[in-house]
Each structure stands twice: as C-alpha cells, then as structure tokens.
Amino acid sequence: MNTVNLKTLMGSILGMILCIGIYHFTINDNTNTVKIEHVTASSGHNAVMTIDNDGSIKPLAFTNTAEEVLEAVVHIKSTQTGNNAMINNRRAPRNLPDPFKDFFGEQFFRFESPRQIPNKPRVGTGSGVIINDKGYIVTNNHVIDNANDLEVTLHDNRSYKATVIGTDPTTDLALIQIKAKGLPTVPLVNSEDIKIGEWVLAVGNPMGLNSTVTAGIVSAKGRNINILKEKFAVESFIQTDAAINPGNSGGALVNLDGGLIGINTAIASPTGSYSGYGFAVPSNIVNKVVEDLLTYGVVQRGVLGVMIRSVDGNLAKDKNLQVNEGAYVDSLLENSAAGKAGIKIGDIITKVNNATIRSSPDLQAAIATYRPGDEIKVSVLRDDKPMDIKVILINTEGNSNIIEKEHKEVLTILGAQLEDIDKKTAQKLDIDHGVKVSKLYAGKLRRYTQMREGFIITIIDGQKVKSKKELMKKLESKKGGVMLEGIYEDIPGEYYYAFGLGS
C-alpha cells in the first residue's frame, strides 16, 4: 500500500472514530447517562516567540501580565434611583443612538419610562483602573455619569462606595476615589511609543463576566469615530482587535509589560457586541486629564483655535498639495492662539513639538496634552515650504489663564459643580441672589436628596446666599444637618433639600 493510500485510510478511521464518539455521547446523553473522560496531558509550553524593544527574542506569554493587571482592574456599578432617574429620562431617549448602543449596551443601561416604573433603580456596569495606591481610579465618564451611587468591587471581591473627583466629557474620562490604601496599581506608559501590530491585553468586566482578559494587537492609532459630541471633544483612539464588549468601558488596555497604554472606551459594531474593533483613550491623554483633576479640580484645555481637516489624496488633489498627510488649516477662530502666532489658512500642520501630525486626530491628541499658557512649536508647510511657529495656547475663554476649581474637597463631598447666577437669569426669575447647581455627580446631593441639575440655591439654613464664595464658606464650617432652599428655572414653586455633613 502506498503512502497516499495509507494516509487516506488513517484519515477515514479517525473520521469514523470521531463520528462514533459524537454519536455515542449523544445517545448516552439522551438516556441521562453522561460519561466524561479526563486525559492527563503535559503542561503547556510557549511555542510562539516575539521580539522586545531591545531586539531580544523571548516567549510570547500573557500569564504574568494578566496576573499583575487583574489585581488593579475593578468592577463599577453605577446606580440611578428615585426622582433623578425620572428627570434624567427626559434627556436620555429610550432608544439610544447607535454609537452609544455600541459601548453602553441596552441590556446594561435600561432606560425605563418614568410613567411605568417611576422609582425603579437603573443600574449600569463598567470597569475602572487603579492608578494610585490611595484609591484613585480612572474610568469612562459615561460609566459614572448621572449616578446617584457608585460601588466599586476589587478583584479580591472587597466592595467600596466611591466619590467622583472630577470628570472630562471631552475625552470621556472620569476620576473617582475609594477609601482604601495599599492597593495594586497599573503604571501609565507613553502611548506614543506603541506601534501598530504590537500585542496588547484588554482587561475588564464585559457582560457581567468579571476579571476578563482578552488579547489582540494594536490595529490602528489616531482613530476618530465621532462618538463624543462635546464642543471641544478629543478623539484620537487606539484601535485594537482585542475583544471588548459592554462592561469593558473604563477598563485597561496594557502592553505585555503590564503598562497602561489606554482606557477602553467604545466598540464599533452593528450588533452592540464585539465585531473586531475596539477603541481606547491613549494613556498620554489619560495622564494629562488625571493630573489636571488632581491639581486643579478641572481639566485645563489648551486651545489652538483652528478648524482642521485631515490631508488625504482627495484633499491634496483639490488643493493642489504636494503631501498626502498632515492637518490642513481650513479656518481660524476669532482671536485664536494660532492666528496671533502667524498660522494661516491653508497651512499644513505636520508637527507639534516632537509629535508627528499625520491627521486631524493626531493634532487633537497632541494639543490635548498641553495647558493654557504653554508655548509649543508648531511645524507647518506653507506653499510647500517648511517653517516653525511658536504658539502660546489659550483656554476656552480666550485667555491663557489656568482655571482652578476652588473648594475642591467640599464640592467632591457634595458631588456638585456650582456657579453664581448671572444678572439676566436673576432678572428673569425676579431674584437678587443665588447659586446654580450646574452639574451633579455621585455624592451627598445625589445620594440623599432628589435635587437635579439647574437648582438655584437661594437660602442655606434660613440665611440668604448671595454668591458661591459665601455658600462655600458656610458649608466648609458646617457640621451636622444642612437645609438648602431654592428654585428651578423651568419648574414652579420652591424646593427644600436636607442632608448631613460629617465632622
């Protein structure tokens, strides 16, 4: 018998054995008798090799990295309860827009009609990454937004209530904190150093499956998927094919050394589940946002003041350009930093300091790592000639000042952002004083009252409040119960909210 016939015969025999095995299992299963065989096998060996940054060949293994990172990735339960949930329903449609279905998942964020179930809590789940042993955790803003209560569960199943330190909707990032010390952390690394094709791990809690690790590669950088709708939104995502699903939001994307290169944020999918494309906020942007929130209480957004387009083949042909990449300056905003420095319409931005700019998301990401008042070197092509221009960045209000949130500690406890009402609003409401609650986070006001955003505080403990400064002074010296009185612009009547402040 020749070799070919022998192989054919062996294949046929193996095929018969396989078919008999499946049939035998099925028959026994139908008679409620299931036999499970255990085969003793040798331990696994690393068969695939990779090359590190030093050019050394080493086994490709994920086990050590997974063990290190899992300890520092947490599960976050975000709960909305009571009247806040009803009011928020007016702003959050029952049918989520497609981009938000992709990373929320309708089965995880149930937007019930207030007429049907007015007081039923709504629970969303996500992930977070411990970046500091004092309990600071980075997650996505959409994971904790509008929450009355935040519960964080560690890898070892310990649970803590969390408070919101600050948020940045323009990058979809948030910083929260739990009262715990000596926690495991994930170090942030320079996301500019990662390369397309590099192995990465995604760690999080998808679909209720806690502490899940998936592997893939960096499949693209500088992706803009138009999912953030804020005015100064920054989208320059790291794209990966590591499996990411609803619940992974806020989790870690790490390299094989266990360094954080991004926060998993969204997926592109026609079904709402993993279809091969996941997106993470780069760690360089994460680092800047966290530093700002810890130092200033708010994110310091440096603004160049240009409207831009990515240079591609079509634009190059239309504008008769000699390059096929960069950020094309379409227009300049009034009193912009770029215009004052000498950047002109038609310039092609190719570098910001040492960062190469190949597209408009690259420029967004580069500028997002700087603050108002920072001087940067912008390299441009003008009429095919390279030149460097020094630009001093401004803030969103048009100047170069750093904006610092005052009274950070008490505002964190309240879970609120406050501002003095303007004269126009005061005249409209026929009042001469008041402080507006412009934003609410998970804190005492959400947890213990039914206050909603837009409430104007006019009286605290029977005394008039004329300014935010005056209100903060009273709250910072207060111990025990607090009674706030005030009004809403769009709801008639006066409202009263009581809560307690610890000593």
Q: What span, in angstroms and rounded, lies between the C-alpha atoms of 383 and 328?
A: 12
Which pTM value belongs to this model?
0.75
Sort 403 into a burial class: Cβ within 10 Å, 0-12 / 13-18 / 19+.
middle
Q: What span, in angstroms and rounded, lies between the C-alpha atoms of 392 and 241?
A: 38
Domains 306-392 and 408-501 share a fold: yes
- 172 noted as active-site residue: yes
Of the residues 191, 219, 249, 359, only one is catalytic, namely 249
The answer on pLDDT for 172 being more than 50 is: yes
Q: What span, in angstroms and rounded, lies between the C-alpha atoms of 98 and 268?
A: 10
Q: What span, in angstroms and rounded, lies between the C-alpha atoms of 98 and 63?
A: 36
Partners of 253 in the β-ladder: 202, 262
> What is the number of other CB atoms lying within 10 angstroms of the CB of residue 209?
11
Q: What span, in angstroms and rounded, lies between the C-alpha atoms of 357 and 366?
A: 8
Instruction: Judge whether 361 and 222 are in contact, CB under 8 Å.
Output: yes
Whose CA is closest to 279, among 309, 250, 311?
250
The predicted pLDDT at position 89 comes to 36
| pLDDT band with cut points at 50, 70 and 90 for residue 53 | low
Sort 238 into a burial class: Cβ within 10 Å, 0-12 / 13-18 / 19+.
buried
Q: Higher pLDDT residue, 485 or 441?
A: 485
Q: Higher pLDDT residue, 266 or 31?
A: 266
The predicted pLDDT at position 50 comes to 67
The predicted pLDDT at position 109 comes to 36
We find that the CATH architecture of domain 408-501 is Roll (2.30)
The helix (H) or strand (E) run that includes residue 113 is none
Of the residues 102, 145, 168, 172, only one is catalytic, namely 172
Instruction: Judge whether 364 and 228 are in contact, CB under 8 Å.
Output: no
- In eight-state DSSP terms, residue 3 is H
The answer on pLDDT for 93 being more than 70 is: no
| pLDDT band with cut points at 50, 70 and 90 for residue 459 | very high
**Of the candidate ranges 22-31, 177-186, 447-456, the one whose mean pLDDT is the lowest:** 22-31
User: What mean pLDDT comes out for the span 162-175?
Assistant: 94
| pLDDT band with cut points at 50, 70 and 90 for residue 98 | very low
Domain extents for the chain? 52-298, 306-392, 408-501
SS3 of 134-190: the string is CCEEEEEHHHHCCCCEEEEECCCCCEEEEEEEEEECCCCEEEEEECCCCCCCCCECC
Q: What is the CATH number of domain 306-392?
A: 2.30.42.10
The predicted pLDDT at position 476 comes to 86
User: What mean pLDDT comes out for the span 352-376?
Assistant: 95
| pLDDT band with cut points at 50, 70 and 90 for residue 30 | very low
Q: What span, in angstroms and rounded, lies between the C-alpha atoms of 331 and 147?
A: 39
| pLDDT band with cut points at 50, 70 and 90 for residue 59 | low
| pLDDT band with cut points at 50, 70 and 90 for residue 275 | confident
Supply φ then ψ for residue 203, to 5 degrees: -125, 130
> What is the number of other CB atoms lying within 10 angstroms of the CB of residue 218?
23
Of the residues 78, 142, 168, 292, only one is catalytic, namely 142
Q: What span, in angstroms and rounded, lies between the C-alpha atoms of 156 and 210?
A: 11
The predicted pLDDT at position 302 comes to 93
User: What mean pLDDT comes out for the span 283-300?
Assistant: 92
Residue 120, C-beta contacts closer than 8 angstroms, at least 6 positions apart: 85, 112
CA angle 196, 197, 201 (to 5 degrees): 105
| pLDDT band with cut points at 50, 70 and 90 for residue 95 | very low
- 142 noted as active-site residue: yes
Q: Domain 52-298 is in which class? A: mainly beta
User: What mean pLDDT comes out for the span 369-388?
Assistant: 95
The helix/strand/coil state of 144 is helix
Mean predicted lDDT score pLDDT of the chain: 83
**Most confidently predicted of 90-99, 199-208, 434-443:** 199-208
